[in-house]
Homo-oligomer: A and B are copies of this chain.
Amino acid sequence: MTGRYTLAETEARGANRLSHMSLDFEAMAVTSNLFRAASAVRNHFERTVLAKSGLSWTAFVVLWVTWIWEPAETREIAEEASISKATLTGVLTTLEKMGLATRSRSATDGRLVIVTVQPAGHKLMETLFPEFNRHEVDVVSDIKGDDRRALADMLRAITAKIEG
């Protein structure tokens, strides 16, 4: 939760509030910095790489997942993008308005909706994704190679712990 202030400062300032509680400040530091980092990365990417194309972070992720797996079912896309199906409905409408993707009904199961990337979407991703990846490289450039793998593994462990 802490941002500008260090954990030590927060701990000192919050001493009166927190001193009588039994707390694990290291676990707290993990979740705190997890969100701080995720939020910083997201905002930075939206303001730099994604700004030109007018895509939000979520719209980009949805388009990316569809691009890799197309034709893709919406339930798969929602799962991969870590968003609810209700949210996906809105994002897909946005992508359709932008002419980047289209919806169609499944021929074998009338309940399913199949999503396909439009030519404009393919053209966009062809240049946007490599650029996106270069920013990803930049963001982790202060972390050594072995540590990057360890970092990804620990983040995966957190997700696994929650989702079972």
Chain A interfacial positions (CB closer than 8 Å to B): 1-5, 10, 13-14, 17-18, 21-24, 26-42, 44, 61, 64-65, 67-69, 79-82, 125, 129-130, 133, 136-143, 145, 147-152, 154-163
On whether the beta carbons of B133 and A158 are closer than 8 Å, the reply is no
On whether the beta carbons of B33 and A64 are closer than 8 Å, the reply is no
Q: List 10 A-B contacts (CB under 8 A).
A: A2-B80, A4-B80, A13-B68, A27-B148, A30-B136, A34-B37, A38-B38, A39-B82, A139-B158, A139-B161
Given the known inter-chain contacts A27-B140, A68-B14, please indicate yes or no for A41 contacting B34, CB distance below 8 A.
Answer: yes
CB-contact partner of A162 in B28, B139, B160, under 8 A: B139
What are the residues of chain B within 8 A of A23 when measuring CB–CB? 130, 133
CB-contact partner of A139 in B1, B27, B35, B68, under 8 A: B27
Say how many copies of this protein the assembly contains: 2
The complex places the Cα of A30 from the Cα of B144 at a distance, in Å, of 12
What are the residues of chain B within 8 A of A26 when measuring CB–CB? 140, 145, 148-149, 152
What are the residues of chain B within 8 A of A44 when measuring CB–CB? 162
On whether the beta carbons of B17 and A67 are closer than 8 Å, the reply is yes
Give the 3 A-B CB pairs with smallest separation, nearest first: A38-B38, A33-B155, A27-B136
